[in-house]
Amino acid sequence: MSERIVVLITSGNMEEAQKIAQALVDERLAACVNIVPTVHSVYRWAGKVEHDQETLLIVKSHHAVLDRLIQRVQELHSYEVPEIIALPLIAGDAAYLRWLDEQVEA
């Protein structure tokens, strides 16, 4: 398994997404966070199918800090159960991956 990961997080609005992104980068839990302003999410919650506009964060980080990253997002997030899912980053540009490694304090 790759130590590098991409973490997907949805939030209810841009302000919250920016707050989370800033904290993760400032605290060196992420090298970079892309914010996608609007995604349409369809999901089941409390027995009902919901349709919502959300903001998507795409976080580049390391598996070694994932537990801390999740804890920090939970502290900052307004959702009762925020979406925080990590996927292995299996390949990429060598220079970018070196930069990513240098930015995250594992």
pTM above the 0.75 mark?
yes
Q: Which amino acid is at 11?
A: S
pLDDT of 1 over the 60 cut: no
Tens of pLDDT, residue by residue over 30-71, are 999 999 999 999 999 999 999 999 999 999 999 999 999 999
User: Residue 2's pLDDT is what?
Assistant: 58
Query: Going from the N-terminus, what domains does the chain have, and what CATH number goes with each?
Result: 4-103 (3.30.70.120)
Per the CB < 8 A criterion, the answer to whether 3 and 63 are in contact is: yes
User: Residue 106's pLDDT is what?
Assistant: 76
